[in-house]
A and B are shown apart, each in its own frame.
Chain A
Amino acid sequence: MKRNASRGLAYEEDLLFELSRPGRRGADTPAYDIPRVDVEDLLGGLLRDDVAALPEVSEVDVVRHFTRMSTWNAAVDLGLYPLGSCTMKYNPKVNERVARLPGFSHAHPMAPAVDNQGLLGLCFELEQWLAEISGMDRVTLQPAAGAQGELAGIMMIRAYHEQRGDTRRQKVLVPDSAHGTNPASAALNGYDIVAVPSGEDGILHPEAVAERMTDEIAALMITNPNTLGLFESHIAELCDVVHAGGGLVYGDGANLNALLGVSRPGDMGIDVMHYNLHKTFSTPHGGGGPGAGPVGIKASLAPYLPTPVVEQGPDGFFWNHDLPDSIGRLHGNHGNVGMLVRAYTYILALGAEGLRRSTDLAVLNANYLLACLREHYHVPIDRPVMHECIVSDRGLAETGITTMDVAKRLIDHGYHPPTIYFPLIVAGAMMIEPTESESLEGLDRFVEALVEIADEARTDPETVRTAPHHTRHRRLDETRAARKPILRWQPPTEPA
């Protein structure tokens, strides 16, 4: 078998503070072309001592430091990164080049609109594209990530009910398969959470929602396809039940990449949803952001959009701040515009056909993986999936090998593990999302690795249990980190 990775040199690198030597500098500052000032004189008691916590290192030190550290990371550009629900698809290089054009990267958010017509126009057009893709009527680009989009959506739902004098609705329905951000976002806006159980078949049934749909329910939050990778086939009926009960439906768009050109949340009955541009629209995940979480809404919610909104008038594009019923501003400026520029570039490059093809291939790849893994791993809900599939460690029970062990052993094969132990409703879940970026050969090699690990669990469980073996670090002690947290470096104390 041709392996995906083998041993290599792992560079060691201390912390910046340990590399620090008095007098070293990595960047200079320009000469004074104006008179020097006496800072003591100007600021007196408002002045501080110098910042001892900053290191003193040369440019070469800094470049080697971060370059070495970069080799300790797994990344999409190194190979399959099948983190379920996170959609680690390839991030086209043209996106990065475009975002660095000075007219985008050195533009200022508070400069007059007349001086930023290119950016306002881009935002205006991107809103329209996202609306068309999702079947929504309006879009705000302001939320900085999916979770902030959820918060914006929930706030608009609250404003909608309150505007109608309907103040009894203080609860939100959240399926048990939902991302943790859903209940957290609703709670952050003061709502109580009512959990809705998924059916045996992994999807939500209208009866389960109907039973809980009272005049205290403001909304249902639903992810479609859900976190099991399954299309919520009853989505239209679910929306009907909620609407009939006076509630609204929030759509978590984390898995929109499974639906491009196939089906639109707006046509399903969803009233408000967010888009994760760093998932569906190929903006890089950045080691944990920045993302971008625009929100699409039906016209009934338009009065509550966050301010300002970009509009087109006779003199060009402008920011409209005059929305008296708006939920208000969510971002200091206009959101993570650099990510909007990348997503715009992606949609422009792919077009309608390319977007549809990305969905087709993502769904094909996920179903192919499921077909290949079925005889080697337990499949908790064996139905055709959309963009991701779920297997579990149940079939390995007699070996004592757990999902965590399989994940860590995958690292030795050069793969980032799938999302593990999520969704919470599947014990020992491994949630695998290959995305459209993988070739058949790449998928086959990944399957071979997983099959080899399943075999190894029976023949040599100790090797699996103590994985990873080929990384710079062996398994790290998370319990110790949490029990006595060390959250910053401090100079070693002198021995007495």
Chain B
Amino acid sequence: MLERIGVPAIDALFECVPDKLRLDRALDLPAGQSEQEVMQRLAALAQQNVNAQDTDWFLGAGTYAHFLPSAVDALISRSEFYTAYTPYQAEISQGTLQAVFEWQTMMCGLTGLEVSNASMYDGASATAEAALMAMRITRRNRVAIAPGLHPHYVEVVRTYLGGLGAEVVQPAIGSAPELTDDVACWIVQQPGFLGSVERLTDHAEAAHSVGALLVVTVTEALSLALLQAPGDAGADIVCGEAQSFGVPMAFGGPHVGFLASRQKHVRQMPGRLVGETVDTEDKRGFVLTLSTREQHIRRERATSNICTNQGLCLMIATVYLALLGRTGLRELAELNLAKAEYAKSCVRDHPQLSLPIDRPTFNEFVVRVPDSGAQALERARAANAIGGLDLSEAAPQLGPAVLVCTTELASREAIDRLVDSLGGAAG
């Protein structure tokens, strides 16, 4: 090969690198290891993390422990899917493209909107991109966020909007939304971070009355199978996190953000879109489309800088939704709700515990504990449970409290143990 190239040695290929920039030593990294040694080291690291398979799990707060059907991993482990890239060459990417088209269709149905893109990085950046999209549509520079938005999402929206001279406002809990006629969008999480199900029609009316868009963010996507479709309630953009659709928690990522909107706003949408077309023999097929919105064509005038998104996680969610389907997803959502209602009834019956928020919930709710969230969770931990999220930072106004999530994985016995341990301190 060197002869064909016309150089004496591989080193000669690097002559374009000036001497002063050549690293004159080996990189200071561990020596390479065999696969067996690598597995041993990684298995040891993995064991130092508490995982939802070996532990009773009640922590949600944006990342949810659900059962993963076997067919999901079997199918997305086909390397024809996972070792392909973005389907630029449609004729040899139809597997990926058809799956994205199916995802778009199902997300439109779940959100009650007309267009869904081919995923965003995660729910937080999807929310930030939704805010930017609303700013482009309304040509307004102010974004208002309802109190129930996941605190990390609020931070990400602030980060994304930071350099643009845009203003982000968030009314305190209980005070009226500052909806003025310079607001681009009103962002509402459904259910809210603390679990409450919002009446979205009220929010839509409030936003639309000042010419703002209603952006609805969903972190527990399973709720979409049960609660009024945000699009039907008047939401203009629905975005969030679809991790609940079969994607492992994986310490917070990779997950799969989604973003859907009304047809009339499609040209302001960020991210990739797959559309139906035909080939030269009139056979139906799918291609990436409306690419003139995107960075590789439009460069600095693109609707977003996003390129690589969360393709394989979208594939996971698509397979999952296909498996559960129309009846299964609804059934699962109702089971999640029933688990939460059972847990809430146990909390109500416990002398040391209470429910400080009296609102309808889905699978997540706040429990007031006798001493402190941290202490209550330590007791749960001693009973082999990750009992929820300590709310001392996110919602100090509630007093000592824990955000508890019950999915289909939570057995009745585990819920009973949790309630006992959360309330277990001497009054």
B279 touches A261 (CB 8 A): no
Q: List 19 A-B contacts (CB under 8 A).
A: A26-B69, A32-B335, A34-B415, A45-B199, A46-B197, A46-B199, A50-B326, A62-B71, A112-B377, A115-B49, A184-B305, A190-B164, A261-B27, A262-B14, A268-B21, A287-B95, A291-B308, A332-B255, A485-B266
- Cα A25 to Cα B415 in complex, Å, equals 29
A3 at the interface (CB under 8 A from B): no
A110 touches B300 (CB 8 A): no
A330 touches B156 (CB 8 A): yes
Cβ–Cβ < 8 Å partners of B165 in chain A: 190
- Cα A319 to Cα B38 in complex, Å, equals 26
Interface residues in B80-95 by Cβ distance below 8 A to A read 80-95
A348 at the interface (CB under 8 A from B): yes
Interface residues in A149-197 by Cβ distance below 8 A to B read 150-151, 154-155, 158, 179-181, 183-193
B33 touches A351 (CB 8 A): yes
A104 touches B93 (CB 8 A): no
Interface residues in A23-69 by Cβ distance below 8 A to B read 23-30, 32-37, 39, 42-43, 45-48, 50-57, 59, 62-63, 65-67, 69
Cβ–Cβ < 8 Å partners of B118 in chain A: 288
Cβ–Cβ < 8 Å partners of A466 in chain B: 280
B137 at the interface (CB under 8 A from A): no
- Cα A187 to Cα B270 in complex, Å, equals 14
Shortest CB-to-CB span from B81 to chain A, Å, is: 5
Cβ–Cβ < 8 Å partners of B228 in chain A: 45-48
A451 at the interface (CB under 8 A from B): no
Q: Assuming A72-B94, A73-B84, A102-B51, is B89 touching A407 (CB within 8 A)?
A: yes
Which of A119, A133, A488 has the largest count of B CB atoms less than 10 A from its CB? A488
B21 touches A235 (CB 8 A): yes
A352 at the interface (CB under 8 A from B): yes
B106 touches A53 (CB 8 A): yes
B31 touches A353 (CB 8 A): yes
Q: How large is the interface on B (under 10, 10 to 19, 20 to 34, 35 or more residues)?
A: 35 or more
Q: Could you say which of A208-216, A294-302, A367-375, A391-399 contacts chain B?
A: A367-375
Q: Assuming A65-B322, A355-B29, is B1 touching A144 (CB within 8 A)?
A: no
Other-chain residue from B23, B287, B312, B412 in contact with A476 (beta carbon distance below 8 A) = B287
A7 at the interface (CB under 8 A from B): no
A33 touches B412 (CB 8 A): yes
B6 at the interface (CB under 8 A from A): yes
Shortest CB-to-CB span from B51 to chain A, Å, is: 4
- Cα A487 to Cα B341 in complex, Å, equals 38
Q: Assuming A287-B315, A338-B248, is B38 touching A264 (CB within 8 A)?
A: no
Shortest CB-to-CB span from B376 to chain A, Å, is: 13
- Smallest Cβ-Cβ distance to B277: which chain A residue: A481
Cβ–Cβ < 8 Å partners of A355 in chain B: 27, 29
Shortest CB-to-CB span from B163 to chain A, Å, is: 4
Other-chain residue from A180, A350, A440 in contact with B296 (beta carbon distance below 8 A) = A180
- Cα A331 to Cα B250 in complex, Å, equals 14
B309 touches A145 (CB 8 A): yes
Interface residues in B86-136 by Cβ distance below 8 A to A read 86-96, 98-99, 101-102, 104-106, 108-110, 114-116, 118-119, 121-125, 132
Cross-chain pair count, CB within 8 angstroms: 679
Q: Assuming A109-B249, A119-B45, is B94 touching A473 (CB within 8 A)?
A: yes
- Smallest Cβ-Cβ distance to B4: which chain A residue: A371
Contact mask for chain B residues 208-233; partner A; CB cutoff 8 A; 1 contact, 0 none: 00000000000000001111110010
- Smallest Cβ-Cβ distance to B272: which chain A residue: A288
B158 at the interface (CB under 8 A from A): yes
Size of the chain A interface, CB-CB below 8 angstroms: 194
A187 touches B301 (CB 8 A): yes
Cβ–Cβ < 8 Å partners of B426 in chain A: none
A118 at the interface (CB under 8 A from B): yes
- Cα A151 to Cα B125 in complex, Å, equals 12
- Smallest Cβ-Cβ distance to B414: which chain A residue: A33
B182 at the interface (CB under 8 A from A): no
B324 at the interface (CB under 8 A from A): yes
A328 at the interface (CB under 8 A from B): yes
Other-chain residue from A25, A121, A180, A338 in contact with B297 (beta carbon distance below 8 A) = A180
Interface residues in A340-394 by Cβ distance below 8 A to B read 341, 344-345, 347-356, 360, 363-364, 367-368, 370-372, 383-384, 386
Cβ–Cβ < 8 Å partners of A489 in chain B: 101-102, 105
Other-chain residue from B67, B73, B91, B277 in contact with A468 (beta carbon distance below 8 A) = B91
A318 at the interface (CB under 8 A from B): no
B358 at the interface (CB under 8 A from A): no
Shortest CB-to-CB span from B36 to chain A, Å, is: 10
A428 at the interface (CB under 8 A from B): no
Cβ–Cβ < 8 Å partners of B95 in chain A: 66, 69-73, 287
B305 touches A151 (CB 8 A): yes
Shortest CB-to-CB span from B389 to chain A, Å, is: 6
- Cα A328 to Cα B153 in complex, Å, equals 11
A107 touches B50 (CB 8 A): yes
B119 touches A132 (CB 8 A): no
